[in-house]
Amino acid sequence: MKEPFSPPGRGVNGSDLMELDDVKFVRGPSLTMPRDWTFEFETVALPHAGGLLRYALHLEGEKARAEDLVQDTLLSAWRHFHQFEQGTNCKAWLFRILKNLHSKQMRRMTRKTEVSLEENEPRLAAPERISANQQVRDAFARLTPEHQEVLQLAAVEGLGIREVADVLQVPQGTVMSRLSRARASLRSVLQTRAFVRKEGL
Amino acid sequence: MNCESVQDLLPLYLSGELTGEGLAAVQHHIKACEACAQSLSADRQLDDVLRTAMLEHSPDVSAVLQRVHGKMATSGWKRMLHVRSLRLAALAAMVVLVAVLGVSSFRARQVQRTTAMAAANDHYSDLVLLRHPDWAYQPDDVARFMLEEFSRQDLLAVITPQGAVFEKVRLCNLGGTQYAHFVFRTGATETSVFLIPNGQAGNKRESIHLADAGHGLEASGFSSEHMSGVVVGGKGQVQTQEIAKRLGGMF
């Protein structure tokens, strides 16, 4: 050990610092290393990637863009995972992020491409040649985007009414009435199919 | 409750969000009203059919997951930047200084002293003034860091002040230089020990003792080519020199 040097009476301020004129200070923010959330994120958030992609496909209508949206959503969620309130529904939180990102993208888009309803409207395939599930998907595809969205979030992905309202940024009452109308609509399309009568819907 | 009100509440009932009186009223009504019970059952069945059909046709998510994993692995540092940007802290700057400067003996002593004072400042601002409630750390991280940088099993015992108990530790990071900040407690008194890997260049072994490091604190430090360590505690209350000496004996 070398001699201890303790200039008596000298504190942080004053002459001590004067000696340091020739020392170049490297200044920067002090960053407390955050808890490593990777494990929690992988177990709590990533399992919802499938649901996010289904929803992104509904919003984007095209796989590559939907995948990009899901990627942006998950990375954003990962960066902000410390803000996720443990114990709340992570799936709803992720869907909210995805919807926000998508809305931002939409606002940024200067040109909005007009889609012809005629061309876009899926045709109902002949019932005898397709599966019951395909018929349901066809029927679903004939609903308005608004009805598809609310059914997808509530019925397919299992989000609660409050959570759907949060994702869509509309009042709960709106979600409930929209959901009722969407169910009625889907039922009405399905009732044209033979199998529906069999299933008793 | 009449059928119309029940129909209004059915979406909430189906999603399991109806509680209390509303839930009881709907349950009661459904038992008595076959039409509403059928409507509920039909909605439930419709949801099931739709869910089954949609899930059967789920897109393959493996490609996007792979991309996300790749990004996560490479952007760890960026992620940290997003988490919390604290105020400028003197010690962090000093850590970089200690770690990157190829210092002469003379300058090393300056750095030593400045590091010790900066450590005292950090101790004062983080523990005495702000009392950060959320020391963000994960024991695994600290353990990994300590194993990599200071692979001595008995290190914790060495840096624990007499009569004190280990309270908490965090990893701090600046510009890729990490250091560990340990806090020990003796009654109401807290002592900080800062351990910084990669000490000064060269084989110099330096020690320092600041009997007055400001804020009513004293600080003692030791550094070798392997590490720098600074101990900060209440003036005259903690044998900071003793701990620094023990560190010196170890590294």
Distance, C-alpha B125 to centroid of its chain: 17
On the question of pLDDT at A84 being above 80, the answer is yes
- Best of B10, B39, B40, B54 to substitute, by most chain A Cβ atoms within 10 angstroms, is B54
CB < 8 Å from A in window 220-239 of B: 220, 222
DSSP, collapsed to helix, strand or coil, labels residue A32 as: strand
User: Contact A32/B213, CB-based, under 8 Å?
Assistant: no
Residue of B nearest to A22 (CA): B107
On the question of pLDDT at A175 being above 60, the answer is yes
The 8-class DSSP code of residue B208 comes to E
User: Contact B97/A26, CB-based, under 8 Å?
Assistant: yes
Residue B181: per-residue pLDDT: 82
How far, in Å, CA of A177 to CA of B59, rounded?
Answer: 29
- Best of A10, A12, A78 to substitute, by most chain B Cβ atoms within 10 angstroms, is A12
Token pair of A35 as six digits: 């808890």
Phi, psi at residue B229, to the nearest 5°? Answer: -135, 140
Q: What stretches of chain A show up as alpha helix (H) in DSSP?
A: 15-18, 38-40, 49-60, 63-79, 90-108, 117-120, 132-141, 145-151, 161-168, 172-190, 194-199
One digit per residue, pLDDT tens: chain B, 251 residues? Answer: 788 888 888 888 888 888 888 899 999 999 999 999 998 999 999 998 998 889 888 888 888 888 887 777 665 433 333 333 333 344 554 555 555 444 444 455 666 777 777 778 778 766 776 555 545 556 667 777 777 777 766 778 888 888 888 877 777 765 456 778 888 888 888 899 988 876 554 556 778 888 888 778 888 888 777 778 889 998 888 888 888 888 877 77
Place A14 in a pLDDT band, splitting at 50, 70 and 90. Answer: very low
User: Letter for the amino acid at B227?
Assistant: M
User: Contact B45/A201, CB-based, under 8 Å?
Assistant: yes
User: Contact B173/A63, CB-based, under 8 Å?
Assistant: no
On the question of pLDDT at A33 being above 80, the answer is no
Residue A25: per-residue pLDDT: 28
How far, in Å, CA of B63 to CA of A73, rounded?
Answer: 15
Of B43, B49, B207, the CB nearest to A199: B49
Long-range contacts of residues A160-166, Cβ cutoff 8 Å, at least 24 apart: A160/A89, A160/A92, A160/B15, A160/B16, A160/B17, A161/B11, A161/B12, A161/B15, A161/B17, A162/B17, A163/A89, A163/A92, A163/A95, A166/A92, A166/A96
Tell me which chain A residues have a C-beta less than 8 angstroms from the C-beta of B175. Answer: 26, 28
User: Contact A1/B248, CB-based, under 8 Å?
Assistant: yes
Of A30, A82, A187, the CB nearest to B46: A187
Token pair of A57 as six digits: 């496909």
Place A110 in a pLDDT band, splitting at 50, 70 and 90. Answer: low
User: Contact B86/A66, CB-based, under 8 Å?
Assistant: no
CA distance B237 to chain A (A): 17
Token pair 């720098």: residue: B228
Residue B92: per-residue pLDDT: 54
Of B8, B43, B85, the CB nearest to A183: B43
Helix (H) or strand (E) holding B68: helix B62-74
Answer yes or no: pTM beyond 0.80: no
Residue of B nearest to A68 (CA): B64
Residue of B nearest to A175 (CA): B11
Whether A179 and A169 have beta carbons less than 8 Å apart is answered as no
Whether B219 and B231 have beta carbons less than 8 Å apart is answered as yes
How far, in Å, CA of A189 to CA of A169, rounded?
Answer: 28
Instruction: Choose among A123, A128, A119: nearest CA to A138.
Output: A123
Q: What stretches of A80-171 show up as alpha helix (H) in DSSP?
A: 90-108, 117-120, 132-141, 145-151, 161-168
Please list, residue by residue across A69-92, b when 16 or more beta carbons sit within 10 angstroms of its beta carbon and e when fewer do: bbbbbbbbbbbebbebeeeebbbb
How far, in Å, CA of A149 to CA of A32, rounded?
Answer: 41
Place A143 in a pLDDT band, splitting at 50, 70 and 90. Answer: very high
User: Contact B59/A53, CB-based, under 8 Å?
Assistant: yes
How far, in Å, CA of B138 to CA of B120, rounded?
Answer: 24
Considering only the C-alpha atoms of chain B, give the largest distance between any 2 of them, rounded to a whole number of Å: 92
- Best of B10, B15, B103, B208 to substitute, by most chain A Cβ atoms within 10 angstroms, is B15
User: Contact B211/A8, CB-based, under 8 Å?
Assistant: yes
Tell me which chain A residues have a C-beta less than 8 angstroms from the C-beta of B57. Answer: 133-134, 137
Tell me which chain B residues have a C-beta less than 8 angstroms from the C-beta of A50. Answer: 58-59, 61
**Cα angle B68-B70-B73, degrees, rounded to a multiple of 5:** 110
User: Contact A28/B92, CB-based, under 8 Å?
Assistant: yes
What Å distances lie between residue A15 and A7, A19, A153, B113, B230, CA to CA?
A: 10, 7, 66, 12, 21
